[in-house]
Amino acid sequence: MMGKRSKKKLKYQSRTPLSGHKKEGKVLKPPFVQFGAGKGLVSWTNDRLPEMVWAALLIAKLGRDRALETFRTFLRFGAKDENSPRFWDPTLTGFSQLEPADRREILGVLCQTEELRGALAPLLLFSALPARDDWQEALQNAQPGPAELLMEAVRLTLFHQSQEATDCRWVRLMSGMFGKRVIIPHEELIQLNGYPRLGDQTHVRPSIRAAEGAMDAAEKRDLTWSNAFWAECWEKTPCLGVRTNEHVTGSAAEAVDLKFLQEIRRELESHWENTRETTAIDARHDAVFGMAFYALRLMEEVVTAEGGAVVGRLALRTLLEIRLTLHYLLKEDKLELWRTWRNYGVGQAKLASLKLEKLDPAPPNYLDGEVLNRIANEDFWEEFVAIDVGHWAGSDLRKMSEKIGLKDVYDRYYGWTSGFSHGQWGPIRESVFVLCLNPLHRGHRIPKPQTPPSLPKIKDDAIELFDSILAEVDRAYSPFSRRCRS
């Protein structure tokens, strides 16, 4: 049914299912928010990665194994002054706050070989680098070169749980431990010392990250360098856009074009004629064929508006509503209910028509006051028409879908398409922004480069809903067997 589109399955294992959320008023809160966590959460990416970017550069240049060796050399050097530890803060800001002699000593350790100097030289790309003069001296003649190595280093460590980020965070944690700023139970210390070879890493890695994250819980960090780092990355390197793959439509949908839909239109028209029994008001017949023709019109606009991706989603939302409403009406199939539905619409026309008269200056272009007035008075004189400001069936679409056993269809199509019709952030994010691929820009959002920006095609979904509407026509006035897909 769904064409050839490959669909990624959502992974629910690692997410809190909706049932795990707590309802407070009209808000569903996930567990972490319920417990009040996440409020003062400090950020690895924003705040601490810039401080440990020297370690990330070593990993990017030397590879992980040799970088870890260098980290051990560095840590051993710090651990040797047991009684008055000096090097407990291995961040760039931390280095800058050392006594000048101590700073030169530790930078000398990090810049021992030409290879290490080459790896760390990109630090000089930053004019805001803390203790820049001392770094320049320690790096001797090493040139920062282009930003590629830095980009690779940041790419590897941008995600706070990546292996490389964990390595950097381990260096910081171990420095704090040897410097007696962090206290950790002995058996855990043994494991951390043997990182990444000792113990079950699926357990060790998260505990490193948790302990490193907790290091800042007590005091407020100075964010001058971190902010300057990201600002300079932004100023000095360009955005990297990407041409996203064109979203493809299943080949079955290709066949459904305007010509194809016009054949359906002809068949629907003759079926309308064959099933019509009276010139009196026939609320049922008008509703069934009215909705089918309306859906058809939407389909025609969907297939002609190539690239009408956002508008297509508004169409999906409407197709869903038609499909559910029609099914609901047919399931009950009471004359009174058909009339209620129709009269609700008449009332809305009257309401709009009355409001129109008060509009000043001229009413908007899309409204035809005469037509509205005619609809309001067509069935009855409008003085007999009540205006219902609620839902026509005193219900809502969700409740209706539950009542007729089509909640699954509702769930498939309602939420996100409604977001499109309301212009909410999520659909806006999906429609017009893409993530910048320059890791030095922390995955910020940039406008999608294409005109119009692509979105997954909606045609298969529209066809699915439209076919089910045609099936309702068949249910109401059998036989009508025509479908887009057989």
Cβ 241 to Zn ion, closest distance in Å? 8
Cβ 83 to Zn ion, closest distance in Å? 48
Cβ 119 to Zn ion, closest distance in Å? 24
User: Could you tell me which stretch among 76-84, 234-242, 281-289, 462-470 binds Zn ion (CB under 5 A)?
Assistant: 234-242
Cβ 439 to Zn ion, closest distance in Å? 9
- Distance (Å) of CA 133 to CA 41, 129, 355: 33, 9, 72
Cβ 443 to Zn ion, closest distance in Å? 9
- Distance (Å) of CA 19 to CA 11, 16, 23, 29, 112: 15, 8, 10, 10, 56
- Distance (Å) of CA 245 to CA 81, 242, 482: 56, 9, 34
Given the structure tokens 């990297």, which residue do they identify?
A: 240
User: Could you tell me which stretch among 66-74, 83-91, 232-240, 262-270 binds Zn ion (CB under 5 A)?
Assistant: 232-240
Chain-centre distance for alpha carbon 456: 14
Token pair recorded at residue 344: 């609700």
Instruction: Give the count of residues interacting with Zn ion (CB under 5 A).
Output: 4
Torsion sign across C-alpha atoms 184, 185, 190, 195 = negative
Question: How far apart, in whole angstroms, are the C-alpha atoms of residue 20 and residue 34?
Answer: 11
Q: Does 311 sit near Zn ion (CB under 5 A)?
A: no
The string of DSSP letters for 164-190 reads HHHHHHHHHHHHHHHTTSS---HHHHH
Mask: binding to Zn ion, 436-455, rule CB under 5 A, as x and -? x-x--x--------------
Taking the least distance from each CB to Zn ion, the nearer of 191 and 438 is 438
Taking the least distance from each CB to Zn ion, the nearer of 78 and 439 is 439
Q: Which residues pair with 27 in a beta bridge?
A: 24
Question: How far apart, in whole angstroms, are the C-alpha atoms of residue 466 and residue 293?
Answer: 10
User: Could you tell me which stretch among 164-172, 236-244, 371-379, 472-480 binds Zn ion (CB under 5 A)?
Assistant: 236-244
Cβ 198 to Zn ion, closest distance in Å? 40
User: Could you tell me which stretch among 57-65, 279-287, 434-442, 477-485 binds Zn ion (CB under 5 A)?
Assistant: 434-442
The residue nearest Zn ion at its CB is: 436
Q: Does 239 sit near Zn ion (CB under 5 A)?
A: yes
Q: Which residues pair with 28 in a beta bridge?
A: 23
Question: How far apart, in whole angstroms, are the C-alpha atoms of residue 44 and residue 67?
Answer: 20
Taking the least distance from each CB to Zn ion, the nearer of 207 and 227 is 227
Neighbours of 83 (CB within 10 A): 5
User: Could you tell me which stretch among 237-245, 313-321, 377-385, 410-418 binds Zn ion (CB under 5 A)?
Assistant: 237-245
User: Could you tell me which stretch among 202-210, 251-259, 305-313, 429-437 binds Zn ion (CB under 5 A)?
Assistant: 429-437
Give, as ranges, the residues between 120 and 139 that touch Zn ion (CB under 5 A). Answer: none
Cβ 423 to Zn ion, closest distance in Å? 25
Taking the least distance from each CB to Zn ion, the nearer of 234 and 344 is 234
Asked whether 472 and 323 are in contact (CB, 8 A), the reply is yes
Taking the least distance from each CB to Zn ion, the nearer of 236 and 422 is 236
Taking the least distance from each CB to Zn ion, the nearer of 20 and 238 is 238
Taking the least distance from each CB to Zn ion, the nearer of 108 and 238 is 238
193 contacts: CB under 8 Å, gap ≥ 6: 174
| Inter-axis angle of helices 283-304 and 258-275, nearest 10 | 170
Cβ 440 to Zn ion, closest distance in Å? 8
Give, as ranges, the residues between 191 and 230 that touch Zn ion (CB under 5 A). Answer: none
Give, as ranges, the residues between 322 and 381 that touch Zn ion (CB under 5 A). Answer: none
Q: Does 75 sit near Zn ion (CB under 5 A)?
A: no
Strands in 346-481 per DSSP E: 433-435, 445-447
Asked whether 164 and 137 are in contact (CB, 8 A), the reply is no
Taking the least distance from each CB to Zn ion, the nearer of 50 and 312 is 50
Cβ 233 to Zn ion, closest distance in Å? 9
Question: How far apart, in whole angstroms, are the C-alpha atoms of residue 156 and residue 169?
Answer: 13
Q: What is the CA radius of gyration of the chain?
A: 33
Q: Applying CB under 5 A, which residues contact Zn ion? A: 239, 436, 438, 441
